[in-house]
Amino acid sequence: MRRFIFCLLLALPVHVFGALQMKCISVGAAGAVSLNWANTSSALLFRSYHVFHSVSSAGPFSLVDSVNVYASQNYVHPSANANALNAFYYVELNNTNGSTEISDTVRAMRLNVIDPGDGYASLIWNTTHTPQIATNSNYHLVYREYPAGIFTLIDSVDVTVSTLNYLDEISICGDTVKYRIEVSDASGCKSISSVDGDFFTDRIAPVAPHIDSVSVDALGNAVIGWSQSPSNDTYAYIVYQTDGNTATPIDTVYGIASTFYASLFNATVGSQGFRIVALDTCGNPCGAEPLQQTIFLQGVIDPCSESIQLTWNAYVNSPGAPLYKILYNQNGGSDVVAGLTASTFFTVDNLKTDSTYCFKVMAELSGINATSTSNIICVTPDLPVAPQYSYIRSVSVFPNDVVSVTAYVDPLADVKEYHLQRANSETGNFVTVRSQPFAGLSEIIFTDDVSTDRTRYYRVAAIDSCGNDALNSQISKTIVTDSGSSENYLNLFSWSSYQFWPGGVSQYAIYRSVDGISDPSPYKILSASDSTYSDDVRELISTEGNFCYFIVAYEAPGNPYGFADSARSNEICFKGKSGVFIPNAFHPGGVNSVFNPSEYFIGLEGYSLEIFNRFGEVVFETKHPDEGWDGTVKGHHSEMGVFVYRFKARDEKGYDIEKVGSVTLIR
């Protein structure tokens, strides 16, 4: 580690000359100073160089020697004592034509090394010239002498961005360490400082390592990884197990690059905490980094939502907020990512019964490119068995506005109850109108009391043990007969087609009742494409005219469950229009031998026929439409003549009919 201390440099006087340039100034072991310069003026005019010296930049300067050879552009001043004193120099060039040139003043680099007592050696030195000699390197090289007699380059200082000082971390337990500074010049020479040093003791604890990962291995034990301490004299790492309050050393890992430890602490029963302490070669321990702990993963299955709620403790003291990756495998397969979250909980949905799921959480630690993996938990969900099918076999309508819905359901499913749901259209809002608990049977029957004069749509919903809609049947609907009319003895009506059977409808059967008497056999069989029928009832005019019809649809082959069902419609009824024809004569023994009005669609209620003679006496009466007068009175034939009748009945609307007239008896 290096630190730089800013210091005040002495400003040396600047002499700017063209031909004579100072290059290097070095201090020898005994304090002698060696100078190097460059002369670019003509050798023909050269007379001598004069070297001047002073212990102060302000002078006075004294001539220490002369050099009379043009090519000799260096000089050694043996008595400079530059290890203890400042040494300033300049060189004067004398030419034969009487001219002179003076170089810039340079100063020998004097190094001062002190022990500030903080585990570092503090180095301060001066530059040879301000500004830096143009041909000198910008890098001042720092050499350390340790062991004695061996100088090793340890670092450099760029004088363009830093002051002339340096801090060297002491990594020895106690000994003398010396230093020197070197600066090279483009000409090939170098400036070397005086040598200085001190007795140093390593008092600096190594930089604490950072635990970058505490994970759980396949056996469920905690494993710890940490960053290498940047302190070069790190000797070992002490591993502590801790609950955050009390720390207990459990092992020592030797070697600065040894940054992993596999513990025997079971991390499947709870989070395990650790700290790491670095130890240097002098026995200095670093301060412990904050607690780091394993991620302890737990999970709770919600069978109703077919999910598992995962929770875990946060990975603490990470350089940045960790992002948690949730991984799982099903039945021992490859791990897949269920999701990412910055929180400490996550829900995994769509679990399947009888599958084994194993989960783990991996914290991705930003800033250090590391991960930490939790313990693994494995679960086998016991989820409700969903119904495999729910099928409406038939929807039938019965008298008094009762709809019966028969459904085929899965008897092995975990179903709490079934709901009958009704809507007014196939895409309408289905509302529950009936429910019944599930008894484990494969057939359930619902009845719905509702007006059946319009189409009703139904479906059956299975409600599982969690109260959720587990499965809906197909949609089915009622058959509605409507658009009826009765005209000229024709009862015309139509019906809606029955739908939603897998194979469709094979045929429709029409059932009819007359005056409340039903025929158990179909009255007519029609094709699946028919939806209207006209019934000619002229042959039934002698009835009271009460006609009712309903339709039964029969299922075509192709049902995947093997059923062949039928569905009944509502009933539509007609009342024939009443009427009567009364003849004005009859001939007993002839073609028209009995006097009997011809009624159609007249009932017994309110019916009567009375015959009167010319004296107003009743000679015949009846209350049944099938009975007529044969012309006899008390067993004797009446004489030919005119008689009066009075006819009473009620029409199809319940109104009274009364007719009075005469009839002629012909003999």
Q: List the domain boundaries for the chain.
A: 1-204, 211-293, 297-379, 390-477, 481-575, 579-665
CATH level 3 topology of 1-204: Immunoglobulin-like (2.60.40)
- The class that CATH gives domain 481-575 is mainly beta
36 token code pair:
């190097």
Q: What are phi and psi of 14, to 5 degrees?
A: -105, 125
Cα–Cα distance, 208 to 226 (Å, whole number): 10
Q: Is the peptide bond before 290 cis (omega within 30 degrees of 0)?
A: no
Q: What are phi and psi of 290, to 5 degrees?
A: -60, 160
pLDDT at 269 over 70: yes
pLDDT tens-digit readout, 437-475: 999 999 999 999 999 989 999 999 999 888 888 899 999
Give the confidence band of 5 by pLDDT, cuts at 50, 70, 90.
very low
Please enumerate in sequence order all residues whose Cβ is within 8 A of that of 311, keeping only pairs 6 or more positions apart, or say none: 297, 298, 299, 300, 344, 345
3-12, 277-286, 388-397, 531-540 — which is least confidently predicted? 3-12
- Quick check: helix, strand or coil at residue 251? strand
pLDDT at 1 over 60: no
Closest by alpha carbon to 220, among 259, 261, 271? Answer: 271
10 Å CB burial of residue 402 (0-12, 13-18, 19+) is middle
Same fold: 1-204 with 481-575: yes
Residue 18 has a pLDDT of: 63
User: What DSSP line would sit under 580-616, residue for residue?
Assistant: EE--SEE-TTSSS-SB--EEES--STT-EEEEE-TTS
Cα–Cα distance, 354 to 245 (Å, whole number): 44
Write down the architecture of domain 211-293 according to CATH: Sandwich (2.60)
pLDDT at 15 over 60: no
Q: Which residues pair with 491 in a beta bridge?
A: 486, 535
Range of 4-8, 205-209, 443-447, 514-518 with top mean pLDDT: 443-447
- Is the distance from CB of 576 to CB of 652 less than 8 angstroms? yes
Whether CATH 3.40.50.2300 fits 390-477: no
pLDDT at 323 over 80: yes
How many residues are there in the chain? 667
pTM: 0.51
Q: What is the mean pLDDT of residues 60-64?
A: 96
What is the average pLDDT value for the chain, to the nearest integer? 91
Q: What is the 3-state secondary structure (H, E, C) of 430-492?
A: CEEEEEEECCCCCEEEEEEECCCCCCCEEEEEEEECCCCEEEECCCEECCCEEEEEEECCEEE
pLDDT tens-digit readout, 325-380: 999 999 999 999 999 999 999 999 999 888 999 999 999 987 677 889 999 999 99
459 token code pair:
């479906």
CATH level 3 topology of 297-379: Immunoglobulin-like (2.60.40)
CATH level 3 topology of 579-665: Immunoglobulin-like (2.60.40)
pLDDT at 551 over 70: yes
Residue 275 has a pLDDT of: 94
Residue 52 has a pLDDT of: 98
User: What's CA 651's distance to the chain center, in Å?
Assistant: 76
Give the confidence band of 46 by pLDDT, cuts at 50, 70, 90.
very high
